[in-house]
Structure 1
Amino acid sequence: MNFMHAVKRGVFALLIALLPAVAMASGAQLEEKVVVYSTHGESMLELVADEFEAATGVKVEFINLKGELADRVRAEKANPQSDVMYGAPSSVYQELKAEDLFDRFTPAWADNINPLFKDKEGYWYGTIQTPVLMFYNTEMMSKADAPKDWWDLADPRYKGLIVSRNALSSSARATYSALLQQFDKKGDLDDGWKFLKGMDANVKRYYGSGSLQYQAVGRKEAAVSFAVLNSVIDNKIKNKMPLEIIDAKSGSPVITDGIAVIKGAKHPNAARAFVEFTGGAKVQALLANKFNRMPTLPEALAAAPKWMSEISFRVMDVDWGALAAKQSQWMQYWDSEIKDSAKDKK
C-alpha cells in the first residue's frame, strides 16, 4: 500500500469514526436505530448493516421487499415505517419523488457522482450502476445461434428456449419498460406490446427468484435469459456456469440503483447518516469486491474488481425520467395482459 493510499484510508476512517460526534455537534444526535426498506439481497444488507453499526453504533433494521418496495413506501406515506429506501431503479425514485415521498439531503460525496446517477435537486442518489444484459448457456447454444439483439427474443426459433424474471423483479420491471420505450419514442407502442407478446410466447417460464432462474439455465431447461451483469458474472466465476453475455446491437439498459431518505422518517438523523455512509466510496468499493456491484463513484470504481473497468458493452438510450411516469401503468398491463398470455391459449 503506498503512502497516499494509506493517508486516504486513514482520513476516511477518521471521518466515519467522527460521524456520531459531528451529528451531535450540529444538534443532530443520531437515533438508536434506522429502518431500511430495500431490494438488495440479505447477505449484502447484513454486511452494510454491520459496517454501519460498527462505525456509528446505530442498529439497522432492514426489510427486503424486492419489487413491492415502492408500493410499500406509498402505502405508508401518512405514517412512514421506514427511514431509508435503498435499492430499486432510478425510474422508481423519480416516480416516488414526484409523489413527495423523499426528503432532500446532500451527502459529502454528492458532487463526485456523475449527474446521470443522481437527482439534480438532491432527493435521491445512485450508489450502484447496474447493466442488464442478455446471456446464454454455451453448452446449449453457439454464439452464432444466440440472439444478437433484444428483438430476437420474439423470434419463433427461440420458442421454449428462454426463461425470465417476472415484473416483481425491479431489474426485469425496468428492462421491460426500457424495451417498450424504444417503441414508444417512435410512436409505435402497439408494436412494442406485440414484441413483448412474441417474446412471451417463447418464454418457457417466469421466475420470482433469481436463483431459480439460474438453476433453470444451469440445468439446461432453457438456453437464454437476461439479468443484471453482476449476477451473471457471479454465476460464471463463482458457480462455474457456462454463461456468455450478449452485447445487444440496440444496447443494454443500465439501471441506477439508488438510495433516499424517506419523508417523515422517524429516525431522520440516522437516516441521513446511513445515506452518507452507504453511498460513500468505502462501502461502494466493499460491495464491488464482495458482491460485484459496479460503483457510481469514480474513487470506488478505481478500487473495484478489474473487470468492471475492462468490460465493454453498448448502452441503450433510455430516458429514465420519462419512463418514471409510465412504468407502473405499463407493468400492470404487462402483468395482466402479456405475461403467460400465449400459455393461456393452449
Structure 2
Amino acid sequence: MMNTKFRVLAFTALAALSATTAAFAEPITVYTPQGEERGIWITEQAAAAGHEIEILSAGGGELFDRILAEKANPQADVVFGLIDAAMASLKTESMFQAYEPAWAKGLPAVYRDDADKMVYKFWQTPIVIAYNADAMDAADAPTSWLDLTKPEYSGKYVIGSSAWQTTKSYLVGILVRFADENGDISDEGWTFMQDLYDNAIVVESGDAKTAAFVNGDAVIDLNWFGGVGRQAADVGYTATIVDTEGGTPFISEGIAIMDGTDQLDAAKAFVDWFGSPEFMIAYAQEFGQVPVHPEAVAGSPMEVQANATLVSPQDIDWDDVAPKIDGWMQRIELDIK
C-alpha cells in the first residue's frame, strides 16, 4: 500500500493520447521532489509528448529513504530531481541501471556520468546566501559562509532540518572547507559547525522558517536560488543574493532509470524527452530554472541566462564526498544540534 505521506500528483495521461502510447500500455512511476505546480505541469507536458507517467512526490530526504527501503522491491521506474550527493549514494547502492540518454553527449563533462552511464544532470541550482534588503544594508551583509558565526549575525539566519536537500548541501559546502587530503574534517571545522548552529535559529519545518522571517528575527536566508525569490514574495520583502567569497555550493539534479524496472522502453523514452534541450527550454520559460545543457541555456530567457552566471561556484566533488555525508549529518544531529 502506498504511504499516505506521499502525494501522487497525477495518475493518467490524456485519453486522446492512448493510441500514440500503445507501446507503453502502463504509466511509468516517477519519483521526484518536483511536486505541486511543477509536478502537475511536468505530467501535462509529458502527456502531450506521448509519455504516460504517475508522479510520486515528497521531500528529497523522504524520497531518498523510501527508495532505499524499497531496494528489494523497487516501485519506481525513473527517479529525477534528487541532488548530486543523493544520486551518487543511490548509485553506490546499485539502485540504477546504465542508460545514456540521447542528449548526454551535449552536456559538459561535470554533468555526465561517463564512468557508469547511470546518472545524468539536467538543471543546476546554487545554494546561496541572500538577505532582506529592506532590513539590512549591503555593507552589513555577510560576504562569506564563514562570516555567519560572527556575533552580529546571531539569530539573523535560519538552519533547517539536515534532512532537507538544501540544508544538507550548504552544510557540506561549509565542512569541505575544513577537510584534509583524506576528506576528514578538522577539529576546527567541527568547532565552526557548533558555532554556526549556536548562532542560528534552528527549525525543523518550513512553516517555522517562514515565521522567523515574518516576525523580523531572521533577515539572512540560506536557500536554494529559486527558494530565495519564493520566500521573499511570500513574506513580502526584497531579497538580494550574495556572490560569496570562496564560492557558492552548486547542486545539480539528476535523472536515472531504476534497476529492475519492467517498463524499460517507456522509461528510456521518458528520459530522452525529459532532458532534451527542447523540454529544458520550456521548463526554463515556465519556472526560470537554469538548465545545464548548452543548447538549453542558449534558448532560455535572458534572465535565466543571466542567473546562470550570477554567483561563483564552489569546487565540490560530490561523488567523492557522498559516502561521507551521512556520517557528517549524524554527527551534527547527535553532537551539535
How would you bin the TM-score normalised by the shorter chain?
Answer: 0.7 to 0.9
1:105 CA displacement: 0.8
Pairing 1:244-263 to 2, within 5 Å after superposition: 244-263=240-259
**Which residue type is aligned with residue 187 of structure 2?**
D
Structure 1 equivalent of residue 263 of structure 2: 267
Residue 161 (structure 1) aligned to one of 146, 156, 161: 156
Residue 280 (structure 1) aligned to one of 276, 295, 300: 276
How far apart, in 2, do the equivalents of 1:318 and 1:57 lie?
Answer: 35
- 3-state SS in 2 of match to 1:329: helix
Pairing 1:2-17 to 2, within 5 Å after superposition: none
CA contact (8 A) 1:129 1:254 kept: yes
Structure 2 equivalent of residue 320 of structure 1: 318
How far apart, in 2, do the equivalents of 1:150 and 1:334 lie?
Answer: 17
Q: Does 1:48 align with 2:48?
A: no
How far apart, in 1, do the equivalents of 2:147 and 2:69 lie?
Answer: 39
- 3-state SS in 2 of match to 1:122: coil
Pairing 1:77-88 to 2, within 5 Å after superposition: 77-88=71-82
Structure 1 equivalent of residue 306 of structure 2: 310
CA contact (8 A) 2:83 2:253 kept: yes
**Greater mean deviation of Cα atoms: 183-192 or 328-337:** 183-192
1:304 CA displacement: 2.0
Structure 2 equivalent of residue 123 of structure 1: 118
4+ runs of 1 displaced by more than 3 Å? 185-188, 211-216, 233-240
CA contact (8 A) 1:91 1:323 kept: yes
- 3-state SS in 2 of match to 1:241: coil
**Which residue type is aligned with residue 293 of structure 1?**
Q
**Which residue type is aligned with residue 254 of structure 1?**
F
How far apart, in 1, do the equivalents of 2:259 and 2:327 lie?
Answer: 24
Question: For each residue in 1:192-222, what CA deviation from the matched residue of structure 2 results, as whole angstroms up to 9, or x when unmatched?
Answer: 221111111111232432x653453254231
* Structure 2 residue ranges without an equivalent (≥5): 1-16
1:295 CA displacement: 0.3
Question: For each residue in 1:5-36, what CA deviation from the matched residue of structure 2 results, as whole angstroms up to 9, or x when unmatched?
Answer: xxxxxxxxxxxxx9x97x98xxxx32421111
How far apart, in 2, do the equivalents of 1:295 and 1:276 lie?
Answer: 15
CA contact (8 A) 2:125 2:251 kept: yes
CA contact (8 A) 1:102 1:263 kept: yes
CA contact (8 A) 1:126 1:258 kept: yes
Structure 2 equivalent of residue 333 of structure 1: 331
**Which residue type is aligned with residue 200 of structure 2?**
V
Q: How many percent identity over aligned positions? A: 30
How far apart, in 1, do the equivalents of 2:275 and 2:321 lie?
Answer: 24
* Structure 1 residue ranges without an equivalent (≥5): 1-17, 340-346
Structure 1 residues 237 and 161: CA distance shift in structure 2, 3 A: closer
Aligned length: 317
- 3-state SS in 2 of match to 1:326: helix
1:89 CA displacement: 1.2
Structure 2 equivalent of residue 194 of structure 1: 191
CA contact (8 A) 1:36 1:82 kept: yes
Question: For each residue in 1:109-153, what CA deviation from the matched residue of structure 2 results, as whole angstroms up to 9, or x when unmatched?
Answer: 110111111211310111110111101111221111111100111
Which has the larger share of helix?
Answer: 1
1:306 CA displacement: 1.6
How far apart, in 2, do the equivalents of 1:49 and 1:213 lie?
Answer: 30
**Which residue type is aligned with residue 142 of structure 1?**
D
Q: Over aligned residues, Cα RMSD in angstroms? A: 2.5
Structure 2 equivalent of residue 344 of structure 1: none
- 3-state SS in 2 of match to 1:62: strand
1:90 CA displacement: 1.2
